[in-house]
A and B are shown apart, each in its own frame.
Chain A
């Protein structure tokens, strides 16, 4: 939960992330909500029609 997705970039220094990995990163100031997580997963499903990975 930060603007540049520090965990995602850090992971990329360590391992080859699977194809289709998506990044969900936004600035803090408000705690991550259940609705946000659900809607992100649902939007990935509807966008691709396939199953992708989501990095929160």
Chain B
């Protein structure tokens, strides 16, 4: 009986094209309206080392990558061993492996896959014969996978054409030959893998993008026209994407010498009236701590995207960990208000980024988006219609306020009108010094307390206006789960499976970490049975 949910994993060395193969299959699935989640994993050397790509395609709603894979493609067993424990085939998985691999198959131990179907495939030989180069073995594999597992060849072919259509003459044709060779090989196999064939009805196409791309697209949507950054895994894709698209949108981008400079540059850009953003990962956010204080003291809106990775220090640069929460929430010198948002999936990266710009502009505070590698670098399908989000612009002083302009005027929300340099009557100077309402340096303890209270008052405004959270599951439940960021996906799927067994579970997922939606959380805790008792 065919399946409606298929997880494939491809493993090879850098240059084998496993990630490209996964991307083309993801595009093919999205084109047919399937739900797709694709994750990649690399060794810390990033380029040239082992790489894996896991792709889940489903006709049903999905929230997480598959725990175990239905189909495993191994170009090199030596690389596979580096992902042991991370890529786990199901007991009855279909395993396609390079027939010419020097590792004897008797030496390959996959205890979990005791009932697996093992298929040796001469990937290199097929690619070389069909295209003249072994580099096309990933395209040959695409042909095999499409044929064996019910992924419509026409959709995959379109993805191949999209990938190679703009290359020099002959490249596309050679790859299409490789694709056909793969299909013909699969047809001649005569192996029954019908239980693993994907069965679905084609529906409207979906967008497919990574969390990092969603953040970059959202930044453009929100009106960001200046980006400064220093490349760091796993956030570099934001820099790459915006380096192409910001100039086309009338914006500017610079690669700075380090992260401290990047934040300094965007503080300058925002001071000049341009919505500005930087992206980094944990070690970069550490370097930004000094400038965070300046943004908070000078009340300059900036957006900082932190795609978290394993730490501390260089740690696990290519792997996910939710370990920068303390740094984002507390890291600074002095009392420093800031906003921290936490997107939960690729689509939410879009909304969190627009929210970040809106809140930054409304409150003139630094806003940190705490994404993580599992969200930032995973590729998921998104409904285009869902990428709609209102954009809020900065409040500039009106004529009355400019008549006696006070840059840091006390207001009920703590937010003062911010003039753009060059505005008649709106002149002021600012820096990291404490100041009075007119922005003149002031070192009295009375003024320091007064202005600190003004700055922190903005958090009350944000807590009231942006209680961002998701409540999953029933209104009242026996068991409650609190999680954040990329944990939401597996928690949501686990809840679905447990609910089917009659276990009553709900979850509270904050999308804003600072200020935390306390009121909503307390109400949620009261909705869970066990929470009514006290410790």
Binding site for B on A (CB under 8 A): 1-3, 6-7, 10-11, 14-20, 27-38, 41, 44-45, 50-56
Contacts and interface: CB of A to CB of B under 8 A. Distances in A.
A29 B86 CA distance: 9
Contacts of B325: 2, 6-7, 10
Contacts, number: 137
Contact of A6 (B310, B323, B478, B530): B323
Interface string B217-259: 0000000000000000000000000000000000000000000
A30 B85 contact: yes
Contact of B39 (A28, A31, A54): A31
29 contacts: A6-B325, A6-B326, A7-B482, A7-B483, A10-B513, A15-B525, A17-B535, A18-B525, A18-B530, A18-B531, A20-B531, A28-B321, A28-B322, A28-B323, A30-B85, A31-B374, A31-B490, A32-B486, A33-B64, A41-B479, A41-B503, A50-B530, A51-B478, A51-B479, A53-B525, A53-B530, A55-B481, A55-B482, A56-B481
Interface extent on B, as a size class?
Answer: 35 or more
B385 to A, nearest CB: 28
B528 interface: yes
Nearest to A35: B67
Which of A2, A30, A31, A53 has the largest number of chain B CB atoms within 10 A?
Answer: A31
Interface in B458-508: 478-484, 486-487, 490-491, 493-494, 497-498, 503, 505
Contacts of A18: 525, 528, 530-535
Contact of A52 (B323, B479, B486, B525): B479
Contacts of B35: none
A34 B490 contact: yes
B518 A31 contact: no
A56 B486 CA distance: 11
B420 interface: no
Contacts of B513: 10
B329 interface: yes
Q: Which A-B residue pairs are the 10 nearest by beta carbons? A: A28-B321, A18-B531, A19-B535, A37-B494, A56-B483, A6-B325, A2-B323, A51-B478, A34-B493, A38-B494
B533 A20 contact: yes
Nearest to B482: A55
Interface of B: 39, 64-65, 67, 85-86, 309-310, 316, 319-323, 325-326, 329, 374, 478-484, 486-487, 490-491, 493-494, 497-498, 503, 505, 513, 516, 518, 521-522, 525, 528-535
A32 B490 contact: yes
B379 to A, nearest CB: 14
Contact of B484 (A7, A52, A53): A7
Contacts of B310: 27-29
A14 B491 contact: no
A55 B491 CA distance: 11
A31 B505 contact: no
What does DSSP make chain B's interface, helix, strand, loop or mixed? mixed
A6 B522 CA distance: 19
A10 B512 CA distance: 13
A21 B530 CA distance: 9
Nearest to B494: A37
A56 B319 contact: no
Contacts of A2: 321-323, 325
A28 B324 CA distance: 12
A28 B319 contact: yes
Contacts of B505: 41
Given A11-B482, A30-B86, A34-B490, A20 B530 contact: yes
Contacts of B528: 18, 53
Nearest to B505: A41
Contact of A1 (B320, B326, B482): B320
A44 B533 CA distance: 17
Contact of B65 (A31, A38, A44, A54): A31
A19 B494 contact: no
Nearest to A8: B482
Contacts of B85: 30
B458 to A, nearest CB: 18
Contacts of B491: 32, 37, 56
B506 to A, nearest CB: 10
A1 B322 contact: yes
Given A6-B326, A56-B481, A29 B319 contact: yes
B487 A1 contact: yes
Contacts of A3: 323
A55 B530 CA distance: 13
Contacts of B86: 30
B487 A38 contact: no
B482 A56 contact: yes
B9 to A, nearest CB: 13
Contacts of B535: 16-20
